[in-house]
Amino acid sequence: MEIKILAKTIRLAAFVAVGACYGLVTHVVAVAHEAVAETQAFTEVEQHRPTPLPDRVVLTWSGDPTSSIDVTWRTDLSVGKPVVEYVLASELLGDLRAEVAGREQATGTSNEFSSDLGKCLLHSGQISGLQPDTMYAYRVGDGEHFSEWFQFRTASTSSTPFTFVYFGDAQNDVRSWWSRVVREANQHAPRAAFMLHAGDLVNNGNRDADWGEWFGAAGWLNGMIPVVACPGNHEYIDGLSRHWRPQFAFPENGPPGLEETAYWIDYQDARIISLNSNERIEQQKAWLESVLQDPKRPRWTFVTFHHPIFSAARGRDNPVLRAAWREILEDNHVDLVLQGHDHAYARSGLGGPKNVPEGLRRANSNTVYVVSVSGPKMYPVQEAWDVSRNASGAQLFQVIHVEPHQVRYEARLATGKLYDAFTLKKDNNGTSVLVEQYPPGEEIRR
Ligand SMILES: [Fe+2]
């Protein structure tokens, strides 16, 4: 892609001032513009070139969110040994221009990475031994070249309410059109515990420019709010995107070979499970059952994967995935299934959706299915479906508030306007009741 800069040379061809009869009026007879187009290439290599200063800083968890955090970043090849400096944010008082008192260091690892645009270093480090429910400041670098100081809060060990944000596919024109969505989401959930991406973060998982746009769109938010993500089919180009594992430090507690794509994380009252719907579907069943039947499983369970079990768009039904995973999800009372792939929006109530031949839900199911899209590419919705709320042609983000006895769900348009809402209440026996709260008005069809 080239960004063309149109340089206009304006030539004054004629300028004639005519004095009127009173000598006060000046009249421009003619001004001619001659435009001369010049182009200046600004290539992807130039746009996304790494420097000695860290960029693409992103927080994730590979361990316990109450006591650890992982950070990954990128530089050019010139920097030295990677280091993460961190300190209790509450200690940062007084004149901070000198040495920051009390800061500690965690060492990182660096790997040379060859993208389609050139070579860089991808660094990652884990900070561990942290106190729960505590804000820390950190920066990354090599002892000479550092990022700015970022801040994050560790998870609590108690049932404190929290909020997270869920995005369907960003994928296309991410710089142009996804930026406003992720930033509007931050306006609605500035203290989000994490941002969850249900795959297809980018269009081509092996294109460095695509990832440059994705990191640029979220900017510093990724350095403050941890990312949880599952890979979509667009992160599978001849296998898993080469960028995925070096740039995200996700748990390695999934089935062998699917580390960092199928995994689970406990965050306070919720277990978040990422499945990999691109490969080894059958292999994940036993592992998924064991994660769901773990007696230490917290009160709420949210599962994310890319390809929806109940498709929202025409001609995209996925009976293989449904046959493999649906019973396990519903029999084990997963609360929310958060999906992408269909570039449309559809959300079931309890007891639905009822729109596919075998789609009637199991009688005791408490599971709510969502398909959503945050980027600009859109597919028509499957009109025959009996879901609670759907949309075609709307960029959306979801803000999900998790409390001990209820989950409050909001889907919002890119403007921030509420488009869908419900509350899922759960009693002490684990029985859920869904209260529909979507606002009145027509569903979007564009
Ligand atoms: Fe997609």
How far, in Å, CA of 226 to CA of 418, rounded?
24
Q: Is the dihedral of CA 375, 182, 213, 112 positive or negative?
A: negative
Ligand 1 mean position, distance from CA 93 (Å): 46
What is the pLDDT confidence band of residue 37, given thresholds at 50, 70 and 90?
A: low
Ligand 1 mean position, distance from CA 123 (Å): 28
Cβ atoms within 10 Å of 32's Cβ, excluding its own:
9
The torsion angles phi and psi of 357, rounded to 5 degrees, stand at -50, -45
Ligand 1 mean position, distance from CA 168 (Å): 8
What is the pLDDT confidence band of residue 38, given thresholds at 50, 70 and 90?
A: low
Ligand 1 mean position, distance from CA 375 (Å): 9
- Token output for 17: 């001032």
Instruction: Fill in the DSSP letter of residue 235.
Output: G
Ligand 1 mean position, distance from CA 28 (Å): 56
Cβ atoms within 10 Å of 223's Cβ, excluding its own:
25
Query: pLDDT by residue (tens digit) across 60-102?
Result: 999 999 999 999 999 999 998 999 999 999 999 988 887 787 8
Domain 162-436, CATH among 3.30.70.60, 3.30.2270.10, 3.40.50.10420, 3.60.21.10: 3.60.21.10
Q: Write the CA distances from 435 to 61, 261, 354, 420, 422, integer angstroms.
A: 32, 33, 19, 12, 5
Which residues sit with Cβ closer than 5 angstroms to ligand 1, an ion? 169, 171, 200
One-letter-per-residue 3-state SS of 290-352: HHHCCCCCCCEEEEECCCCCCCCECCCCCHHHHHHHHHHHHHCCCCEEEECCCCCEEECCCCC
Ligand 1 mean position, distance from CA 322 (Å): 19
Amino acid at 355: N
Ligand 1 mean position, distance from CA 256 (Å): 26
Instruction: Fill in the DSSP letter of residue 444.
Output: P
How far, in Å, CA of 93 to CA of 96, rounded?
7
Cβ atoms within 10 Å of 161's Cβ, excluding its own:
14
Ligand 1 mean position, distance from CA 197 (Å): 12
* CATH 2.60.40.380 residue ranges for the chain: 49-153
Ligand 1 mean position, distance from CA 110 (Å): 31
pLDDT score of 10 more than 70: no
Ligand 1 mean position, distance from CA 283 (Å): 24
Ligand 1 mean position, distance from CA 226 (Å): 22
Mean pLDDT, range 273-278, rounded to an integer: 98
- Token output for 61: 């968890």
C-beta pairs of 182-187 under 8 Å, 24+ apart in sequence? 182/217, 182/218, 182/221, 182/374, 182/397, 183/217, 183/221, 184/397, 184/412, 184/414, 184/415, 184/416, 185/397, 185/399, 185/412, 186/221, 186/225, 187/416
CATH top-level class of 49-153: mainly beta
**Residue 98 neighbours by CB under 8 Å, 6+ apart:** none
Ligand 1 mean position, distance from CA 230 (Å): 12
Are 93 and 87 in contact by the 8 Å Cβ rule? The answer is no
The secondary element (H helix, E strand) that includes residue 246 is helix 244-247
**Residue 392 neighbours by CB under 8 Å, 6+ apart:** 344, 345, 378, 379, 380, 381, 444, 445, 446
pLDDT score of 27 more than 50: no
* CATH 3.60.21.10 residue ranges for the chain: 162-436
Q: Which of 30-44, 260-274, 395-409 has the lowest mean pLDDT?
A: 30-44
How far, in Å, CA of 207 to CA of 312, rounded?
28
Q: So what's the pLDDT on residue 350?
A: 66
Query: pLDDT by residue (tens digit) across 358-394?
Result: 444 444 567 899 999 999 999 998 876 668 899 999 9
Query: Please, what is the average pLDDT of the chain?
Result: 88
Ligand 1 mean position, distance from CA 171 (Å): 6
As to burial, measured by CB atoms within 10 angstroms (0-12 exposed, 13-18 middle, 19+ buried), residue 150 is buried
How far, in Å, CA of 88 to CA of 325, rounded?
43
Q: pTM of the prediction?
A: 0.90
Mean pLDDT, range 191-217, rounded to an integer: 98
pLDDT score of 11 more than 60: no
Query: pLDDT by residue (tens digit) across 222-231?
Result: 999 999 999 9
Q: So what's the pLDDT on residue 358?
A: 45
Are 362 and 327 in contact by the 8 Å Cβ rule? The answer is yes
Ligand 1 mean position, distance from CA 33 (Å): 46
How large is the angle between the packed helices 319-331 and 283-292, nearest 10 degrees?
20
Taking alpha carbons only, the member of 54, 66, 14, 306 closest to residue 166 is 306
Residues across the chain = 446
Ligand 1 mean position, distance from CA 316 (Å): 12
Cβ atoms within 10 Å of 146's Cβ, excluding its own:
14
Ligand 1 mean position, distance from CA 237 (Å): 13
Taking 3-state DSSP, the helix, strand and coil percentages for the chain, each rounded to the nearest 5, stand at 15, 30, 55
How far, in Å, CA of 135 to CA of 126, rounded?
16
Ligand 1 mean position, distance from CA 341 (Å): 4
Percent over 90 (pLDDT), the chain: 75
